[in-house]
């Protein structure tokens, strides 16, 4: 597995979601996450943290490994705000991964919470036989 970093804008992230290129399921609850604080951070041009995406080798789609709640909040709150379309978001993109490696990254990035690797939704990992390196 290797990674590279890229800066997407909020507009780019929302566009990728609209085109089905970022695969994730909305979090079951946003109670513990203050979505409005995220909106305030974006409006005030404060950093909102790193998103970690795993890129599918064959389709160019991404699955969200870390940042699902923030991405969901951006989708809900910023969809109609053209003034934040150019806000930069730092993305770590993982390539040539295995399922076990993604689980490890997920667990390490969520070590402060009570979440388990079962919370990581593998949208196309389990069903797509073209997954890189036999990701299982």
Contact 54, 98 (CB under 8 A): no
Write down the domain spans for the chain.
Answer: 2-134
Q: pLDDT tens, 76-99? A: 777 767 777 888 899 999 999 888
Q: 71 burial class (0-12, 13-18, 19+ CB within 10 angstroms)?
A: buried
Instruction: Quote the pTM value.
Output: 0.76
Structure tokens at 4: 């590279």
Contact 94, 105 (CB under 8 A): yes
Q: pLDDT tens, 95-124? A: 998 888 888 888 888 776 555 555 554 444
């Amino acid at each position: 597995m290797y990674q590279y970093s890229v800066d997407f804008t909020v507009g780019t992230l929302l566009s990728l979601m609209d085109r089905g290129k970022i695969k994730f399921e909305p979090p079951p609850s946003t109670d513990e996450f203050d979505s409005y604080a995220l909106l305030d951070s974006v409006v005030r041009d404060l950093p909102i943290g790193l998103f970690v995406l795993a890129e599918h080798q064959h389709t160019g789609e991404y699955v969200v490994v870390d940042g699902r709640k923030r991405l969901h909040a951006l989708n809900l709150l910023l969809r109609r705000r053209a003034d934040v379309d150019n806000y930069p978001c730092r993305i770590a993109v993982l390539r040539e991964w295995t399922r076990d490696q993604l689980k490890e990254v997920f667990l390490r990035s969520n070590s402060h919470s009570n979440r388990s690797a079962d919370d990581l939704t593998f949208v196309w990992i389990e069903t797509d036989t073209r997954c890189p390196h036999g990701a299982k």
